[in-house]
Structure 1
Amino acid sequence: MMQGIAAAAAVPRGMLIADAWAQLGDAVAPLSNASGRPLARTVKLLLDPLVLRPTQNPRFAGGLIGVEHVDELRRALQDAGPALAATAAWFQLVKRARRRAGVTEGHPQDLYFQRCFELAHLHGHPRDQPGAEAIAAETVTDVHAERGELTVDRLRRFMTDPARAVELARLLRTAWEDRAPEPREPAPAPGLTEFLDGCVTKPDERLWQTLADNRIGTAAAAELDRPGVARDFGLTERDRPTPPALGDRASKRQLPRPFDRSIMERLFAAFTAVFQRESMADIPSMVVGEIHRSAAAWQLAGEPGRVAMALGREASAVLDGSSPGNAAPAVPASDAHARLQRRWQRESYVHRALRLPDPEAAGIPEDLREEVRTVRRAYLRRLWARLHGRELRSENTAADEVWDLLDGVLRSVVMDQRDRLRRALEREGGQA
């Protein structure tokens, strides 16, 4: 197979990883599927974030790997071979400890893969560690004790512990320093309009996968570091995104713009919404994951979410200036554009209220009037929050879910505006 790989100008990433993985042999079988390839969770939880690190090594990031980087990627996996073999052995021990403890909650791979990788680096291979069984049992106890106390108070205690806060601050600084350099010009984003044109009635799964493999969402985020762009999208109050604070408190009523939130505030939603406990990581993993997510494209961890943000940015361009009576509404470029535009133009309640002779006297606050005039900002903020929440719950985004997501976000924004407007008018005794 490697002869064919060497002859190509670029190699599919999945095929290259599978070939290099096969060279590691039976020692990594617990991390492999029936065909000997790495499990999807092995790639997601171990290889990408801990071995290949595509955010710091963009040459390993795309769906296709340049032939000049093939040997380097193979060496990265080979060099990690001993640690991965030890991880696999620890995983076997931890699963046995889990069964003895009678634990059935949560998916073992989600819960223990990264912990076992940590054990491999702390203790080496379990066969060389006399107390390996006890360490495995302690790991299971620790993980589930943490998950049994997933509270805001415990999150705050974890993040404000003085010794730990120093290490988290170092990790945050390193994550932002290691960000991939910004391209001189934003990369073109082929395929977004084509996908939007069919996503309502016949979502193209192959095109969706191509968009993710080609990292179109990541490329579309390049412009966010330019002055004013992320602010114009409503994602920050600042001229450009900056590293977040760790934070020590959060309030649901006073959450800043998404990119301005501290790590504490970003995770706060996980404890104030209805989440499936088994879908959430333990608190240390959540915090470390959020730190790395904050430095990633769109400040999201996965390419499917980033592609969805790029699609939302594209589709929502028709919203601003599309209020009824606008002299020159934007021309929709796809079926999804047109449907979002029609939904917004049909929102007569809000638009009628804003056409009152004196909306300020009627009690309609200026921030709500501004939000209606620039609804795209509210839309993109809500879309980011939805995608961020999905990542916290380990929910992937598939092609056939995209339209429900894009349409649902606008529907949610409209309903919020209606409720705010109704309350304002009732307080002032006005009528829309």
Structure 2
Amino acid sequence: MVQSIAAGAAVPRGMLIADAWAQLGDGVAPLSNPSGRPLARTVKLLLDPLVLRPTMNPRFAGGMVGVEHVDELRRVLLEAGPALAATAAWFQLLKQARRRAGVTEGNPQDLYFQRCFELAHEHGDPRAVPDAEAIAAETVAEVRAERGEVTVDRLRRFMTDPDQVVRLAGLLQHAWADRPAPGPAPRDGLTAFLDTCATEPDERAWKALAANGTGTAEAAELDRPRVARDYGLTEKDRPAPPALGDRASKRRLPPPFDRSIMERLFAAFTAVFQRASMADIPTMVVGEIHRSASAWQLAEEPSRVAMALGRDASNGIDYWVDPPLTSDANGRLQARYAREAYVHAVHRLADPESANVPDDLKHEIVYVQGPYLRRLWARLHGRELRGETTAAADVWDLLDGVFRSVLLDQRDRLRRLLERDGGPA
């Protein structure tokens, strides 16, 4: 397959992984789908963070891999074959232990894949371990106990434990030190997708944007001075590593990139149904540390593409007077914004001294892209924590729904303010 590719070309990463995976044989079948390819969660939870490690090996990142790195990627996967086969065997044992214990909550792949990888490295193949069934039962019980206490208090205790603080601070430092250099220039395709996503969403085009690493490429600009700040994602000149943190409040959350690891996870604990779909505390915290060092500070390429689409869809709304339309989605958001009576009122407040509107609210109303991108990031971040996927048909509902939410929030804040001050609501 690879020998026929011209020098300097690139090969789809998914095709390379599938090709190497097929050579691992039946031992990894529990980690595979019916067609013999690795499950999406196998790639997300095992291959990317524990085997290929694209954060430390940027040559393996993105949707395409340079032909000069093809053999190396295959070698890394094949060398991990015995550990992956042992992981698959442990996974089978843990599922049996789970059934015997009567555990039904949570997705077994989310809960046990990474634990099984640890067991494989600690004990090897469970068929050669005399007390493997006891280890599996104990692991299931540990995971269940951890998930039974997925609360803010336990998150705080975990992140303030002196031993954990040292370990997590080291992980955070290494994750940011190993950030890959900015990739190639952004690829085309965002505008074409925005032109059709509201009426005829193209699943193939959506998947192509993710496979090509378009969202990651578009994030390169965020490291330039003031770019992320102008988007409302940080108050700093450039994004910087977050603090670990030991407290959080929904009333005082800073912009997304300035939030501590504690603050980033805090919002996910607001509902029981959300906690039921999330990983255990240690896995969540480590995952959030790596997420903070990723493009757009999001872990999934579809989420990064959605941020780039949201940036372009909301671009130019701030111009207000005869704004240029860059896409069908942009025009639809422009039209929704222009229909808001309160927006017209605030834009007419030429004299700041005569207005009863605080400067921060007035700024958010006039320069709406900042609050829009902040809320879009929070929505995508929450979807990642809950393991939710995004299809092409979901994109416009997401982009438009976030914009509608921002406008409703601004309208309500302005109404409360005017009612409090005795003005017309």
Q: Do the structures match in fold with TM over 0.5?
A: yes
Match of 2:270 in 1: 272
Equivalent residue pairs, number: 425
Instruction: Indicate conservation of the 8 Å contact 1:159/1:248, yes or no.
Output: yes
Inter-partner Cα distance in structure 2 for 1:10 and 1:236? 34
Q: Deviations over 1:361-396 (max 9, x none)?
A: 553211101111211111110110110011011011
Partner of 1:41: 41
Separation in 2 of the partners of 1:284 and 1:302?
19
2:314 is the alignment partner of 1:321: no
Once the 2 structures are TM-superposed, how far is the Cα of residue 3 of structure 1 from its aligned partner? 5.3
Partner Cα distance (1:353, 1:377) in 2: 17
Q: Is the 8 A contact 2:2 2:67 kept in 1?
A: no
Q: Name 2:412's counterpart in structure 1.
A: 419
CA offset at residue 124 of structure 1? Answer: 2.2
The 3-state SS of whatever aligns with 1:168 is helix
1:362·1:428 contact (CA, 8 Å) conserved in 2? no
Contact 2:227 2:238 in 1 (8 A): yes
> Could you tell me how far apart the structure 2 residues matched to 1:29 and 1:234 are?
45
- Residue equivalent to 1:222: 220
Matches within 5 A, 1:27-426: 27-183=27-183, 187-273=185-271, 275-322=273-320, 326=321, 329-353=322-346, 355-356=348-349, 363-426=356-419
Q: Which of 119-128 and 142-151 deviates more? A: 119-128
Cα separation, 2, equivalents of 1:389 and 1:274: 14
**TM-aligned CA deviation for residue 44 of structure 1:** 1.5
User: Deviation of residue 8 (structure 1)?
Assistant: 9.7
Aligned counterparts of 1:52 and 1:359: Cα–Cα separation in 2: 55
- CA offset at residue 257 of structure 1? 0.6
Instruction: Answer with 289-298 or 157-166: which moved more.
Output: 157-166
Residues of 1 paired with 2:94 and 2:328: CA distance?
Answer: 50
Q: Structure 1: which amino acid aligns with 2:390?
A: T
Q: Deviations over 1:166-199 (max 9, x none)?
A: 111111111001100135xx61330000000000
- Taking structure 1 as reference, are residues 143 and 424 closer, same or farther at Cα in structure 2, changes over 3 Å only? same
SS in structure 2 of the partner of residue 340 of structure 1: helix
Q: Conserved in 2, the CA contact under 8 Å of 1:247 and 1:263? A: yes
Displacement over 6 Å in runs of 4+: 5-8
Q: Which amino acid aligns with 2:386?
A: R
Kindly provide the amino acid, as one letter, of the partner of residue 193 in structure 2.
F
Which residue identity lines up with residue 128 of structure 1 in the other structure? A
Alpha carbons 2:91, 2:116 under 8 Å: kept: yes
Give, in angstroms, the shift of residue 26 of structure 1: 1.8
- CA change 1:357–1:78 in 2 (3 A) is closer
| Alpha-carbon contact 1:321-1:330 (below 8 Å) kept | yes
C-alpha contact 1:365 1:424 (8 A) present in aligned 2: no
Provide the C-alpha distance between the structure 1 equivalents of 2:404 and 2:272, rounded to a whole number of angstroms.
20
One-letter amino acid matched to 1:213? A
What SS is found at the alignment partner of 1:11? strand
1:296-336 Cα distance to aligned partner (Å, 9 max, x none): 000000000000000011111121122xxx2xx32111110
Distance 2:273 2:166 in 1: 30
Measured in 2, the distance between the counterparts of 1:158 and 1:334 equals 46
Deviation at 1:276, TM superposition (A): 3.3
Contact 1:107–1:278, Cα closer than 8 Å, also in 2: no
Unaligned runs of 5+ in 2: none
Task: Specify whether residues 2 and 223 from structure 1 end up closer, same or farther in structure 2 by C-alpha distance, changes over 3 A only.
Answer: closer
Assess if the C-alpha contact under 8 Å between 2:30 and 2:92 holds in 1: yes
* Residues 33-78 of structure 1, C-alpha deviations (whole Å, 9 max, x = no match): 2232211211111111211122332222233322211110110101
Q: CA deviation at 1:260?
A: 0.3
CA shift at 1:165, angstroms?
1.2
* SS of residue matched to 1:320: helix
Percent identical among aligned pairs is: 76
Q: TM-score of the superposition, structure 1-length normalised?
A: 0.94
Give me the whole-angstrom Cα distance separating, in 1, the residues matched to 2:353 and 2:154: 44
Asked whether the equivalents of residues 360 and 366 of structure 1 are also in contact (C-alpha less than 8 Å), the reply is no
| TM-score (norm. length: structure 2) | 0.96
RMSD value over aligned CA atoms? 1.8
Contact 1:10 1:66 in 2 (8 A): yes
SS in 1 for 2:11: strand
